[in-house]
Structure 1
Amino acid sequence: MTHELPATSSAGRARAQALQMPVSIEGQPTSIVTYKSSGRLVIVGEEDLALSLARRLGEAIPCTVLVPSAARPEPGTREGRVVVRGGRPEIEGRLGRFTVNLETPDGTVSLSEAAGNPGSFFDLVLDLSPVPLMTHEVPPVGYYAPAGDDAKLEKALAEIPEMSGEFEKPKYFNYNPDICAHGGSGIVGCTRCIDACPTLAITSIGEKVSVDPYLCQGAGSCVAACPSGAMSYAFPAVSDLLAHLKLFLGAFRDAGGESPVVLIHDAWSSKTVAETLGPEMPEDVLPLEVEEVGSVGLDTWLALLAYGARAVVVVVTDTAPRRMVTEIEAQVLFGRGILEGMGFPPESLTVISSASAAADPAGWWGALPAAGIAKPARFALPDDKRAILRLAIEHLHRHAPAPRKTTELPAGAPFGEIKVDKNACTLCMGCVSVCPVAALDAGGDLPQLKFTEWNCVQCGLCEKACPEDAITLHTRFLYDAELRQQPRILNEEQPFCCVACGKPFGTRSLLESMLKKLEGHWMFQDEASRRRLQMCEHCRVKDMFKSGGPGVPGA
């Protein structure tokens, strides 16, 4: 931020000193994503307009023109350009690797094949359709869809000649599939990262997800949305960011400031923050520019409050991707629920539009709380989302004005318990087998279902896996750290013992449920076969061989 902020008070002078502090985010090395482009362009649209734009781009840009229609694709040339007339296009890919497939009366054919160059890709796409063919909120690099906007068209024509060569960007994310709650045993659980991604870079691949690093543009909303921390931001890592913010707030306090507001924004709103909001806002408001506001989520916000901020305000622009803004707003609601349960004002976490704040530069901050916690935290925080949340919330709870034992949270919050209908549960442990975060555990030698509330991310896999519909989710926050991290028994029974040898296996309710489900099966119509179901696995095999039952050789 180059625009100088007012410094007429002790808070303003403390802010000036804090903002002069060198940025101490060292950052961990991250992978590099490389695009390669030879500038091969396809223009999709009305023929005369497309050719006029091709002429403006010049002979240096190898260009193919596609004129969509319901007819069969017919290749030709005009003005030295390849022109394919016909077919309904579907476009996939990114800079250097776009594929254009044409739906025709005879099936699907690639535009490359129709143009006489099968197997090749296009590097760039200029889509002149009134409604863009690619529906991404944030389109892939190399895809231009002005949709009738002359300014966007001119910008595209200026950029396209520069889009040949090799281009590098950082790989913005890290993904740990071991703690991903997306799926298990063929069941889909959490889809929050998929729902929050504005570039459609994240897709389901069975029980895990896949992130296309070429489509990802670092919006970061997947990181904010991920309940387990399986998805994390790599540029920078949250622990590096928080280490800097701890020093930043400490420098403000050491210079005489108290309980600041941290105003988080990105480059898209930096001018509004500096020139419009800056001169009018209180001098203890500390602007913090980050790579993407969507990448800074609940763990960072609560850590800032624990470090002594009285409020955290996130600034979004009117042009920000809707999926990202929706996720920020949801995370603010979750955080407000946790804070209100401790007696803190909900305005301690706030999201504002840069446009609405600019319309009221002297008043947008009026509802923010007057003070933060009396004793800011001094601890360093790890690069672990759930651990950051735990440490920050526990510190805030110790200094809370009116803490409760529990508080209800909005639906979708990544905290809570599960409730088990003991009359329906058979202790089959199907829920234990799908839990990705060790929130559920079997009782060892005893038929018990144990639950550790802090581990639960409310992904819903256990609820969907239960064959008896005995499980329901309940979003809440339990503030007692010991109770939250201590396993508790949700259901237990005496073990059922083998009718032949007396070895304990399973539970009576499980056996009764199985017998009821199999009572009409042809293999279990006599007493001997039903009794065999009440035997352990060893006795069951011995009995089958002794009696020559179904499945035994020679029976």
Structure 2
Amino acid sequence: MNTPQEHNANARAEALAAVRDMGMEPTSRVSYHSEGRVLIIGIDEESALDAARKLREDLTPAVLLTANGESTEADGIPVLYSQGREPLVEGHLGSFMVTLQIGGKTANVATLLNSAWNAFDLVLDLGLAPLITAEWPPVGYFAPPFGDREALDRALEALGDLRGEFEKPKFFRYDPGICAHARSGIRGCTRCIDACPAIAIRSLGETIEVQPELCQGGGICATVCPTGAITYAYPRPADLIQRLQTLMRHYREHGGEDPVVLFYDDEAGAEILQRMEPLPGQVLAVEVEELGSVGLDVLLAGLVAGAREMLLLDTPALPAKVRRNLQEQLGHAGVILHALGFPRQALRLIQGGSGAVSSTDPMPAIHPEQVAASDRKRLTLFAALDHLNAEAPSPQSEIALQAGAPFGEIHVDPKACTLCMACAAVCPAQALSAPGDTPRLEFTEGNCVQCGICEISCPEHAISLGPRLLTDARQRSEPRVLHEEAPFECVSCGKPFATHRMIEQILQRLEKHPMFQDEPSRRRLMMCENCRVIDMFQGSGGGTV
């Protein structure tokens, strides 16, 4: 008779076989072209030229030395001295622009070294510190630690293979229509920019831009995006959730019990996983391109599908930015789980090693459910959270969250708010609205991502954020009135056009203004736009608009 562990291992084998051939929706490709023009940047002529000689069998090298000296040519290799100036390196495989500031002007190093070139395909940085500081530098840029001979040899070997045509997946999709980055010049959410280890995302004012040639598929941008404006494309969240749910279903159907899902990346994670073998029978290992792409929508969908734990396998290769942001996301989820009476440890980042997947505090058994496998992040999150609340040992009507959480309400000070509606005009998530002609501010909490644009835009400083999770789906989706006042009617035609408070504040602020000292001019401030224009041209009290 099989032991429980052997029984679970057999069920796991059947489940893994069931998902082995499940496909992923294809994504577009990003192409690179390299002719092998490599720039070696260093401080020591001998070591830089030694590297150049080793590379010239496969590539076309040139050398830039960040020291004083006379530009020359050595063994047919052009050498340029920067005279102590630090170069600026930008770009990616096939298109690196390297510049120096000379006499207040920007000089192109490629042109200085070879008049036929305007860029380099590859860069080998042998300086004391890397000129590109991204945790994940661009494809084609190598900066082995200074003095590390083995790392230099690995870089030289990799460089020799980077001549020709290359492709990689385009790892992301971006919908600027639901991006909460900025509105009307007011900066809001910068989570993706701050989290990207490749520094591939930049602000374009109202929206952001992900540079596909710099993006290396870390996925943390999609994980931290509160609206789902950035989604991971390889695989899509819907594909990963569907794969996960299918895996869990087949595991249960074949008699498996207490499933634990372990996500690992296909490089460093796969190596560590091999050293952890054999895994306990109930551990279902799921390979992903990058660990940072596994967001809370996927993790919570796994708990809802019946996983007792959802684990992420940390590795030394995981960028610090990715690790920090994953921990922050898991922290928000942990607060919710704890409030519902579930263990925080059911979602966690683990280090590889003996006993890493063992836990003394797994999720209690719940009725498994399959949430809709959707790329609409908040739809998936709320569906999973609603099911967990329904199954919770301690169901809640609302849960207070930490600052930075993507859910919450806003508070409006009725004594300060003039209902100018500046907040509703800039809200990127349509959480705030001003319906009809009545001065009324309405709020739909399920849409709010706590970006803070409304708070910053309010001229009266009447708005503050309140991160929380409202667990009642109806209350989240129905607009509620935050502030309402009787309208102020035009003193000429009777048309409602503002609030009493707004007119009172305008009159008060302009009380000492020289253009509003006579009664007709002050009365004009209490007229609607049309009546003001008519009154001005009729000449009653001057020409002040």
Q: Scaled by the length of structure 1, what TM-score is found?
A: 0.93
1:550 aligns with 2:530: no
Q: Is the 8 A contact 2:521 2:544 kept in 1?
A: no
1:112 deviation in Å? 2.0
- The whole-number CA distance in structure 2 between the counterparts of 1:22 and 1:495 is 61
Query: Aligned ranges for residues 94-493 of structure 1 at < 5 Å?
Result: 94-117=92-115, 120-148=118-146, 149-267=148-266, 268-276=268-276, 278-279=277-278, 281-354=279-352, 358=353, 361-362=354-355, 364-369=357-362, 371-373=364-366, 375-493=367-485
- The whole-number CA distance in structure 1 between the counterparts of 2:100 and 2:159 is 24
- The whole-number CA distance in structure 2 between the counterparts of 1:290 and 1:481 is 32
1:289 deviation in Å? 1.0
1:393 deviation in Å? 1.0
1:22 deviation in Å? 3.6
1:222 deviation in Å? 0.1
Q: Is the 8 A contact 1:443 1:450 kept in 2?
A: yes
Q: Which stretch of structure 1 is more off in the superposition, 382-391 or 506-515?
A: 506-515
1:105 deviation in Å? 4.6
- The whole-number CA distance in structure 2 between the counterparts of 1:189 and 1:393 is 26
- The whole-number CA distance in structure 2 between the counterparts of 1:172 and 1:181 is 21
Of 74, 80, 83, which aligns to 1:84? 80
Write out per-residue CA displacement over residues 11-41 of structure 1, whole angstroms, 9 at most, x where no aligned residue.
Answer: 2221122122243542223111000000000
Structure 1 alignment gaps of length 5 or more: 1-5
- The whole-number CA distance in structure 1 between the counterparts of 2:523 and 2:107 is 61
- The whole-number CA distance in structure 1 between the counterparts of 2:435 and 2:328 is 36
- The one-letter amino acid of 1:186's match is G
Q: Which stretch of structure 1 is more off in the superposition, 114-123 or 144-153?
A: 114-123
Q: Indicate the SS of the match to 1:320.
A: coil
- List structure 1 runs of 4+ shifted beyond 6 angstroms: none
1:364 deviation in Å? 5.0
1:341 deviation in Å? 2.3
Q: Is the 8 A contact 1:305 1:372 kept in 2?
A: no
Q: Is the 8 A contact 1:91 1:134 kept in 2?
A: yes
1:416 deviation in Å? 0.5
Root-mean-square deviation (CA), in Å? 1.8
Write out per-residue CA displacement over residues 260-290 of structure 1, whole angstroms, 9 at most, x where no aligned residue.
Answer: 11111112112322332x33x5321111111
1:31 aligns with 2:28: yes
Q: Is the 8 A contact 1:198 1:323 kept in 2?
A: yes
- The one-letter amino acid of 1:403's match is P
Write out per-residue CA displacement over residues 276-325 of structure 1, whole angstroms, 9 at most, x where no aligned residue.
Answer: 2x33x532111111111100100000000111111111111122111111
Q: Indicate the SS of the match to 1:93.
A: strand
Q: Indicate the SS of the match to 1:216.
A: coil
Write out per-residue CA displacement over residues 486-505 of structure 1, whole angstroms, 9 at most, x where no aligned residue.
Answer: 11111010000001111101
- The one-letter amino acid of 1:209's match is I
Write out per-residue CA displacement over residues 184-226 of structure 1, whole angstroms, 9 at most, x where no aligned residue.
Answer: 0100000000011000000000010000000000000000000
Of 54, 66, 74, which aligns to 1:56? 54
Q: Indicate the SS of the match to 1:98.
A: strand
Distance 1:24 1:500, change over 3 A: farther
- The whole-number CA distance in structure 2 between the counterparts of 1:450 and 1:175 is 28
Structure 2 alignment gaps of length 5 or more: none
Write out per-residue CA displacement over residues 355-375 of structure 1, whole angstroms, 9 at most, x where no aligned residue.
Answer: xxx1xx1365234415331x1
Write out per-residue CA displacement over residues 501-524 of structure 1, whole angstroms, 9 at most, x where no aligned residue.
Answer: 111011011112222333343332
Q: Is the 8 A contact 1:318 1:353 kept in 2?
A: no
- The whole-number CA distance in structure 1 between the counterparts of 2:505 and 2:389 is 45
Distance 1:516 1:259, change over 3 A: farther
Write out per-residue CA displacement over residues 527-546 of structure 1, whole angstroms, 9 at most, x where no aligned residue.
Answer: 21111111001100000001
- The one-letter amino acid of 2:507's match is L
Q: Is the 8 A contact 2:193 2:202 kept in 1?
A: yes
Q: Scaled by the length of structure 2, what TM-score is found?
A: 0.95
Q: Is the 8 A contact 1:74 1:114 kept in 2?
A: no
Write out per-residue CA displacement over residues 330-358 of structure 1, whole angstroms, 9 at most, x where no aligned residue.
Answer: 1101111122222111111111123xxx1
- The whole-number CA distance in structure 2 between the counterparts of 1:525 and 1:29 is 69
Q: Indicate the SS of the match to 1:125.
A: strand
- The whole-number CA distance in structure 2 between the counterparts of 1:335 and 1:107 is 51
1:499 aligns with 2:496: no
Q: Is the 8 A contact 1:75 1:114 kept in 2?
A: no
1:119 deviation in Å? 6.3
- The whole-number CA distance in structure 1 between the counterparts of 2:93 and 2:391 is 51
Q: Indicate the SS of the match to 2:424.
A: helix
Q: Is the 8 A contact 1:25 1:241 kept in 2?
A: no
Q: Is the 8 A contact 2:413 2:463 kept in 1?
A: yes
Q: Is the 8 A contact 1:397 1:479 kept in 2?
A: yes
Match of 2:40 in 1: 43
Q: Is the 8 A contact 1:220 1:295 kept in 2?
A: yes
- The whole-number CA distance in structure 2 between the counterparts of 1:225 and 1:120 is 38
Q: Is the 8 A contact 1:397 1:403 kept in 2?
A: yes
Q: Indicate the SS of the match to 1:21.
A: helix
Distance 1:441 1:551, change over 3 A: same
- The one-letter amino acid of 1:478's match is L
Match of 1:15 in 2: 12
- The whole-number CA distance in structure 1 between the counterparts of 2:72 and 2:356 is 63
Q: Is the 8 A contact 2:108 2:118 kept in 1?
A: no
Match of 1:3 in 2: none
Q: What count of residue pairs does the alignment treat as equivalent?
A: 537
- The one-letter amino acid of 1:505's match is F
Q: Is the 8 A contact 2:371 2:384 kept in 1?
A: no
- The one-letter amino acid of 2:355's match is A
Distance 1:146 1:520, change over 3 A: farther
Q: Is the 8 A contact 1:415 1:457 kept in 2?
A: yes
Sequence identity, in percent?
47
Q: Is the 8 A contact 1:174 1:233 kept in 2?
A: yes
